[in-house]
Amino acid sequence: MARAWHWAKSLSNEFMDQLTQSRWLPLVLLTLSNLFMTFAWYGHLKFKSQPLLIVILASWGIAFFEYCLQVPANRWGNNVYSATQLKILQEIITLVVFCVFAALYLGEKLRWNHFAAFLCIVAAVAFTFLPEEKKPAPQTAAPAPVLSQQDNRQ
């Protein structure tokens, strides 16, 4: 039984190592966390007659689940993305989730200027993921040539 447990634990650790090195896991977790975040921040707009304190407490409860997904997304995502890349990805995911939420849940119509602004954010994402410029290796300074007496006279 101990061998089976050790084997299962080893397999589980191996799976988690592969999963946390995935480029997709952070994106999935960030998307799910943004669903919770969007409902926490904007879901109450359909319940304007509810007391503000109740809405705040409900939003806070929803936000807890957002953090349960967002924190691991950033922790594991930092294995494959820089913090800046994660933030930019999170912003574009937020906009996509919000656009769908605004249209389907709130019934808002998205206009051309919303899409133009969205394209600007996509451009920011593209700039963030441009390859880093390779810095040339520092060169050691060659010793200055020693001038002979004859060279100094010229």
DSSP state letters, 69-95: HHHHHHHHHTTTS-HHHHHHHHHHHHH
| Distances from the Cα of 153 to the Cα of 22, 72, 84, 98, angstroms | 69, 72, 59, 78
Flag the least confident range among 2-16, 37-51, 91-105, 125-139. 2-16
Flag the least confident range among 14-28, 77-91, 97-111. 14-28
Tokens of 24: 């997709």
Which residue is listed with tokens 């200027």? Answer: 113
C-alpha 2: how far from its chain's center? 40
pLDDT of residue 123: 85
pLDDT of residue 8: 65
Q: CB of 33 within 8 A of CB of 14?
A: no
